[in-house]
Structure 1
């Protein structure tokens, strides 16, 4: 038998198969088994890469008898290098219980996002702590509105409050498809939306369509979302170093640190330094994007997220991603990848004019590329490195 405090891989099947990990997850939460490293069962090469980088016995300082490390969530952050986020049982429980308090009490959960990422794991943790039976969407053929509708019909039969979690691309597909998927989505008491920035136009469409969307901000290092609709959960403290300025977070949902990185600076002093920039607007936290995504063009600094928001507010724009690419004249040039609605006939000059009017000349994209879809990484974030390579070719 392996030592109980070894870190053991937990292959997590996609879709409905993810529910098979519930017994192991329960033991990990109770401290009755090894710490678990969730990996995608359908991506064996990537799983082995993570096991090689992160597996083995936990080191001193990576565990505690009174609050054992339950999960190590692999995350590449913005660097692509795998890091293991050490999540004690107490952090997972604190996050899940605070979520239920914010939403109106424990309820039934529908899993629609991959359960080897923190957002999906927390759907299962919340269900376990609520004592309810979670359901899962069949994603064997990708995320499809009809499969979501079928799973939702089963989930909505219980008498508990009904919750699910989505990333913006999933919500967009359900809204665009309409029909049974959207009808089922309206039946949920709360739809947590995270994993990537939510375009304001998408949020407005969802709310206008009768979907009870709650936007979330958080990461693996905070056991998932810890700021809902711009308001911190009752266990979360937010600190900004200036406005706008770097975001720091603390509270009982915080991770123990990183695997094999004792004393990581990101966790110094009991605060997690997110690497994001933010400001408070009307008392709510507004996240402006990654500090290392800020574009320096002609001596001016441009945060991509406000530009993306302006673009996605324009008629016919479904998604947008803004980034800087090397430019001999400007140092970096602001460029945008835009996914149009299928029937849209977009005018790139009109899009640029809209940005210039709202944000000024420096933020105006020098080039706009129309794409069928954005490359994604993780649970649904645009892959900026892949886009940069594509847009500089």
Structure 2
């Protein structure tokens, strides 16, 4: 924690102020309030329009909170935010905390049915969205007031966030009786996303990240992962808590990300693996155009980081890869440091302080031997208390199921073998797709791979691979099958290989396996 830069923040007065602010306003508004008090000149946010100090963010959100309150928003409101990464989204997050309203972070990849279902289930009373999502907003009842967080081309009048801020008093607002909290949504790869409420009441919860990830106070984080996703949101909150600037862009672009790292001397980059793939795919010539030597941390989470991609990123940026494993429900389970990755590429590392990770078999018996696969259960101070619809994940010995299966090696490092519901039983043998997928993407020319099980009258299920290759690459199905056969057991060889331009993914980069069969 000393290495993470918590000591400069840990003066008694700072600790007390931080704890009071977080308890009153929640983690985002509380962290911004303390940072603004500590140094009014410190840059808190850099977006497409330029920099804003923590003080400016504090006063802007005061004005927005007042404006929304004048329009009926209160501590009983549920504010749904459907926006890309920019100041309007951050203003909304801060204002919601100051009002004590519940904040619901919507996925920018939603279709109308998903938006309508989630809004009804979560009891949305206010909808704040970017102008590009205006048509999507028609899925909601007209009775729900709407405000525009970002205007593209057309003037949207007095209901834009900027207009509300510009025309409202920016004095501090009264502290709410209770922080409203926020609701994150699960990835929803197999249906309507579930709501996972969060209520963080202490800034010390960040220690679970900082124990394994050496973030420091007063630095700069380049945020590639979206704010509505747990990966982006968690690192945004921690950066604010450390008084560090956050650089964000409305739309991810791999080369512009490199330029932003260079121009802002960013020390940390936060991405999901598909974003990292697009960055390293730029190639050595493009990567060499930008000075990224300031990077100490390349933080990736949200989906599996293949050994091939992690090794390419290490070669491009040095020993800076930190691979986090967690979920919307538990936040963080384990983190692989650069040393972990060097010693065991593909590992998701070890639990940080305050986290417990155990494996159990299907009968609920704990697995303690290395290299034996079991269901992953996690205990974390950041775990949620159940979905908003009343359901919960499986619990054993007070630990929460994360929905995956994995194994520990002899050194105690965790490896994820796949989703517990993705296991394929072919001819009586159990196959987890990730092992075959990792092998396929190591083959020259292959950029993406996903493996599913399809019905087979003889074997029950057979493996079917969906593969994307580099433009111009000549890769055949037979050679891929031979590649798998040469490295894995025969029953793990895909009987079919389908080539696609790219795999279907959601907005956070997870493969939509239930859509793969649409492609043959």
Q: Is the contact between residue 375 and residue 401 of structure 2 (CA under 8 Å) also seen in structure 1?
A: yes
Q: Which residue of the other structure, out of 436, 449, 458, is the alignment partner of 1:320?
A: 449
2:356 to 210, 229, 237: 237
Cα separation, partners in 2 of 1:314 and 1:101, compared to 1, 3 Å:
same
Residue 184 of structure 2 corresponds to residue 73 of structure 1: yes
CA distance in 2, matches of 1:185, 1:267: 43
The corresponding residue for 2:364 is none
Which 10-residue stretch deviates more, 32-41 or 190-199?
32-41
Report the Cα offset of residue 83 of structure 1. Answer: 0.7
Match of 1:127 among 233, 239, 242: 239
Q: Does 1:97 align with 2:167?
A: no
Structure 1 CA distance, aligned partners of 2:394 and 2:74? 29
Q: 1:327 to 1:90 in 2, by over 3 A?
A: farther
Q: Quote the offset at 1:294 in angstroms.
A: 0.5
Q: 1:357 to 1:94 in 2, by over 3 A?
A: farther
Partner of 1:14: 84
Structure in which a larger fraction of residues adopt strand: 1
Q: Which moved more, 1:48-57 or 1:286-295?
A: 48-57
SS at match of 1:362: helix
TM-score of the superposed pair, with normalisation by structure 1? 0.85
Match of 2:378 in 1: 249
C-alpha distance after superposition, 1:323-369 (max 9, x if no partner) = 11122332221011111122422132222122223221111000111
Residue segments in structure 1 that go unaligned for 5+ positions in a row: 58-64
Q: Matched residue of 2:313: which SS?
A: helix
* SS of 2:270 mapped into structure 1: strand
Aligned partners of 1:314, 1:105: CA distance in 2, in Å?
35
Count matched residues: 371
User: 1:188-212 deviations in whole A, cap 9, x for unaligned?
Assistant: 2111112221121111111122342
Name the structure 2 match of 1:35. 102
Match of 1:199 in 2: 306
Question: 1:22 Cα shift?
Answer: 2.6
Instruction: For 2:453 and 2:294, locate their aligned partners in 1 and report how far apart those are by CA, in whole Å.
Output: 41
User: C-alpha displacement at 1:231, in angstroms?
Assistant: 1.4
CA deviation string 1:270-306 (max 9, x = no partner): 3210110010023210001101001111222111011
> Does structure 1 residue 165 correspond to structure 2 residue 309?
no
RMSD of the alignment, in Å? 2.7
Tell me if 1:82 matches 2:193. yes
Is this contact kept in 2: 1:36–1:71, CA < 8 A?
A: yes
Once the two structures are TM-superposed, the CA of residue 254 in structure 1 deviates from its matched residue by 0.8
Gaps of 5+ in 2: 1-71, 126-175, 337-347, 361-366
Other structure's SS at 1:388 match: helix
Q: Map of 1:1-393 to 2, 5 A cutoff? A: 1-11=72-82, 13-15=83-85, 17=86, 19-26=87-94, 33-40=100-107, 45=112, 46-55=114-123, 70-90=181-201, 93=203, 96-106=206-216, 107-139=219-251, 143-156=252-265, 162-178=267-283, 179=285, 183-211=290-318, 212-223=320-331, 226-228=334-336, 229-241=348-360, 242=367, 243-261=372-390, 264-267=392-395, 270-281=398-409, 282-391=411-520
Shift of 1:116: 1.1
- Alignment TM-score, normalising by the size of structure 2: 0.66
Distance 2:272 2:462 in 1: 29
Whether the 8 Å contact between 2:325 and 2:334 is mirrored in structure 1 is yes
Return the offset for 1:313. Answer: 1.7
Structure of larger gyration radius: 2
State the distance in 1 between where 2:517 and 2:293 align: 37
